[in-house]
Structure 1
Amino acid sequence: MDLEQLKYPIGQFYMPEVFDQKQADIWVAEIEALPNQLKTATENLSDEELNQTYRPGGWTLRQVVHHVPDSHINAYIRFKQAITEDIPVIRPYYEERWAETGEAKFGDIKLSLDLLAALHQRWVAFLKTLKIEDYQRRYIHPAQGKELSLANMLGMYAWHGKHHLAHITNTVTK
């Protein structure tokens, strides 16, 4: 595999032309399934395997596991802000710096797997209360300099989970 395939093993996210309830339900189901998929993909990995990188210059598998709940906590908060505020400006975070903190580089992945499971239960419960028109609500991402719809972000985070799951499964099956 070339570096682009290693970086984006399932390709990059694209927003389909049609976003409807069927698409929303698919993406919510993918978000709901991710914690068990990630747990299954990592349950038999040794420390040596967790300390491998998925590509040259990339994060270790351990850092990837810790990154997913870091990212998805931020997503959950952003969704709640967009539903409860009028086009809020969200607060970006430096994911690359978060991945370099001690617990992300060396910590037990069980903590992040448990966090992800609880977070996704809550997030999915919230998502299942939304109406299709709620997904047209937006927030402003100052680092990207644009407004993003919840429809787009639902798809992006469903993709994000599968993207990092593929980093892990592709690395351990080499």
Structure 2
Amino acid sequence: MCGILGALESKFDAARFEAALARLAWRGRDGSGSTSTAGWRLGTARLAISDATAPQPIECPRTGRVVVFNGAVTSARDEWARYRTATRNDAELLLHRLAHDGPEGLLDMTGPYAFAIADPLADCVYVGRDHLGEKPLLVASEDGEPVAFASTGPALRALGFRTEWNPVELGRWFRR
């Protein structure tokens, strides 16, 4: 179990972001880290399951893309053979998938996961989770636009958001 956090830089200063990241510490005793790119602050609290020597966030030196990741890619062994990776951290595989297959390469991953990739080349952030929602990913918005996301409600509350159940989305989830 890890925890991930992301917020628009223009909305949240570094001190507030780090306070929110501290609310995720219980999800990852093996370290935490944060960075800023593409207008977003990204952070993670990491419980090292794969490659304990590879901290997160992970940045691709060639593209400047940054990934934060919570979970596991079940096809990781096969994918490590496909890509030249610097680590054996499943998070790095997402950077390679995006580089080789574009955003569509992030759609067919298997396993329990939640992630965010800040992409300064495309000036956007890709955020996703597994199809069953096994790994939590909560999104906060203002005026219909996403401005922050986190693995837990307390991290979003530390950024100043109220967290509450959305009955419409909850109903959609139960109808699946």
Would you call these one fold, judging by a TM-score over 0.5? Answer: no
Rg: which structure is higher? 1
**Higher relative contact order structure (alpha carbons within 8 Å, sequence separation ≥ 6):** 1
Structure with a larger share of its residues in strand: 2
* TM-score under structure 2 length normalisation: 0.28
Structure with a larger share of its residues in helix: 1
